[in-house]
């Protein structure tokens, strides 16, 4: 695969990557392809990663340091998901700092090598492999008499920065990753994306089909050829949701109230967070997420209401026949919300009903009535008329027996247990007259399937967030995790370590 000898290319068949892979697997079999991929990883690792540890990296760096380059060594690793990871990274960095500090090689005027700890540069530096950018920075630095340092990635930009060292008295530092094979993949993927992008200067530079004239064009001058820098195919911020109708119609008035309520919740973020933490036992981050979700509901339903209720929706029909769909409110909606999302789901139910033109009886969970009451106060402050909203806290079983059989209830919106949803469904079904809609959101078994292509740290981060955010009390919380056997041991070790870092108790 690396030399072109694993399989012969056929121009008639190999127009897409899938054809190539299919022929490779059929010709060679999976074990050979796996070996080839591992070899490709090793070759790419040697190209873009300086060494497996700091001592090997210092030895490999000597030839370039003779030329006048300096280095910034970075210990590979995406994230410390467990305490063991954190301890290992700390040990690696302490060893690297000591090794670099004790290294006497070479004795020349190049800046001393350093260790990168992902805090970015704290003095004027520029990292680029684009000759246009480098030339522009050189000109600006000369004009302003500024001292600068260039940086490049190990394995990239040799020709460009060799000329910089030869022609200018400016230091160049090589950013050099250091790490073991198992930590390579995320970094190599980033380098592949950077080098392989069609618009990348690095990619176009080595493309024999790109004329020199195209490479040396001034990008600013190219942009100035256009009448406008904005693309006509991409709507501007004010046009994303279409024209805002402000002719006083009822849909617009309701939508504006939803948007004002969203703004008020953002204004009272800290207060609402505190109530969520106090009443529902949420962590601070869960409280932030709760308010943000409630705000999102308001803005989503405001825009959706304008699209669906402001005017009739034209339907397809025979020539000469006009078919239009009008939607309007049904009447009184009973909204029953849970304790685990006392503001977000409570808000989403009520806003959806109101923007559609209904009136609402809001029955929050008895455990979180203070959060719900404060939300109701902000709704009224946002401009919703008091006679379209009724706040009714209390015991769910007792209130449900009175309200759901009542013929004045035109619909029920419920989030909670499957058992209670079945009771509501049976009660509404026993009523005479038109069918009463029940919009019910209940629990379920949610699974995640992970294969060997997934980044382990990202998987663990997502699993922990999905399974344990909001104490796992979410209808979409992860319940079952399926992991490909090839990577299961590594995933399980990381996941167990990350779970061990979780603190269970009163937030």
- Which residue among 259, 266, 293, 475 is the active-site one? 475
Beta-carbon contacts of residue 61 (< 8 Å; ≥ 6 apart): 50, 71, 113, 174, 176
Q: Where are the domains of the chain?
A: 1-48, 52-222, 244-439, 446-500
52-222 and 244-439 agree in CATH topology: no
Give the span between the Cα atoms of 176 and 174, in whole angstroms. Answer: 6
Tell me the two tokens of residue 13: 């068949």
Tell me the CA distances in angstroms from 367 to 108, 239, 414, one per residue in order.
71, 42, 16
Tens digit of pLDDT per residue, the chain (507 long)?
A: 344 444 455 555 445 566 666 666 666 666 777 777 777 777 777 778 888 889 999 999 998 988 889 999 988 876 778 888 888 888 888 999 999 989 887 666 778 888 887 643 344 767 788 888 898 899 999 999 998 999 898 888 888 999 999 999 899 999 888 887 667 777 777 777 776 777 778 778 777 888 888 887 887 888 888 888 887 777 776 666 554 445 337 899 999 999 999 999 999 999 999 999 999 999 999 999 999 999 999 999 999 999 888 888 888 888 888 888 888 899 999 999 999 999 999 999 999 999 999 999 999 999 999 999 999 999 999 999 999 999 999 999 999 999 999 999 999 999 999 999 999 999 999 999 889 999 999 877 899 999 988 888 899 999 999 999 888 888 889 999 999 998 999 899 999 999 999 888 776
Residues 249 and 255: beta-carbon distance below 8 Å: no
Residues 149, 266, 441, 474: which is the catalytic one? 441
**Active site (annotated) includes residue 279:** no
Distance between CA atoms of residues 356 and 329, nearest Å: 5
Instruction: Give the three-state DSSP class for 112.
Output: coil
* CATH level 2 (architecture), domain 244-439: 3-Layer(aba) Sandwich (3.40)
Question: How many other CB atoms sit within 10 Å of the CB of residue 77?
Answer: 21
pTM, two decimal places: 0.64
CB atoms within 10 A of CB 76: 20
Secondary structure of residue 325 in the 3-state scheme: strand
Q: Give domain 52-222's CATH number out of 3.30.70.890, 3.20.20.220, 3.10.20.440, 3.40.50.1820.
A: 3.20.20.220
* Whether 474 is catalytic: no
């Amino acid at each position: 695969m690396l030399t072109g000898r694993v399989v012969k290319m056929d121009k008639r068949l190999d127009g897409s990557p899938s054809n190539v892979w299919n022929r490779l697997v059929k010709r060679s079999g999976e074990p050979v392809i796996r070996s080839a991929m591992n070899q490709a990883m090793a070759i790419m690792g040697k190209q873009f990663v300086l060494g497996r540890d700091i001592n090997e990296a210092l030895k490999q760096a000597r030839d370039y340091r003779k030329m006048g380059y300096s280095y910034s060594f970075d210990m590979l690793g995406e994230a410390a998901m467990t305490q063991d990871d954190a301890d290992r990274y700390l040990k690696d960095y302490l060893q690297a700092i000591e090794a670099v500090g004790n290294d006497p090689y070479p004795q020349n005027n190049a800046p001393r090598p350093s260790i990168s700890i992902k805090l970015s540069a704290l003095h004027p530096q520029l990292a680029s492999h684009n000759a246009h950018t480098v030339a522009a920075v050189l000109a600006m630095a000369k004009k302003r008499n500024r001292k600068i340092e260039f940086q490049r990635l190990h394995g990239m930009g040799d020709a460009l920065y060799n000329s910089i060292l030869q022609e200018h008295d400016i230091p160049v530092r090589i950013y050099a990753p250091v790490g073991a094979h198992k930590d390579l993949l995320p970094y190599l993927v980033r380098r592949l994306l950077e080098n392989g992008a069609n618009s990348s200067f690095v990619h176009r530079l080595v493309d024999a089909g790109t004329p020199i004239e195209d490479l040396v064009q001034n990008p600013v001058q190219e942009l100035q050829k256009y009448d406008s820098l904005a693309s006509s195919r991409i709507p501007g911020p004010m046009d994303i949701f279409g024209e805002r109708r402000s002719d006083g119609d009822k849909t617009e008035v309701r939508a504006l109230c939803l948007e004002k309520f969203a703004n008020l919740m953002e204004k009272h973020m800290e207060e609402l967070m505190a109530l969520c933490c106090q009443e529902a036992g949420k962590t601070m981050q869960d409280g932030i997420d709760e308010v943000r979700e409630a705000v999102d509901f308001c803005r989503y339903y405001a825009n959706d209401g304008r699209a669906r209720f402001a005017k009739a929706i034209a339907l397809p029909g025979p020539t000469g026949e006009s078919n239009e769909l009008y939607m309007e409110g049904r009447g009184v909606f009973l909204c029953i919300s849970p304790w685990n999302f006392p503001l977000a789901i409570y808000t989403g139910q009520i806003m959806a009903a109101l923007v559609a033109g209904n009136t609402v009886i809001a029955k929050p969970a008895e455990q979180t009535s203070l959060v719900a009451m404060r939300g109701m106060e902000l709704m009224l402050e946002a401009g919703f008329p008091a006679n379209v909203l009724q706040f009714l806290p209390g015991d769910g079983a007792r209130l449900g027996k009175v309200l759901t059989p009542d013929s004045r209830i035109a619909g029920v919106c419920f989030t909670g247990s499957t058992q209670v949803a079945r009771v509501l469904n049976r009660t509404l079904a026993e009523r005479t007259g038109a069918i009463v809609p029940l919009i019910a959101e209940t629990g379920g078994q949610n699974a995640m399937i992970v294969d060997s292509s997934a980044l382990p740290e990202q998987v663990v981060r997502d699993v922990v967030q999905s399974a344990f955010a909001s104490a796992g009390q979410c209808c979409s919380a992860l319940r079952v995790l399926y992991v490909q056997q090839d990577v299961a041991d590594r995933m399980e070790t990381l996941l167990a370590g990350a779970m061990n870092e979780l603190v269970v108790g009163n937030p």
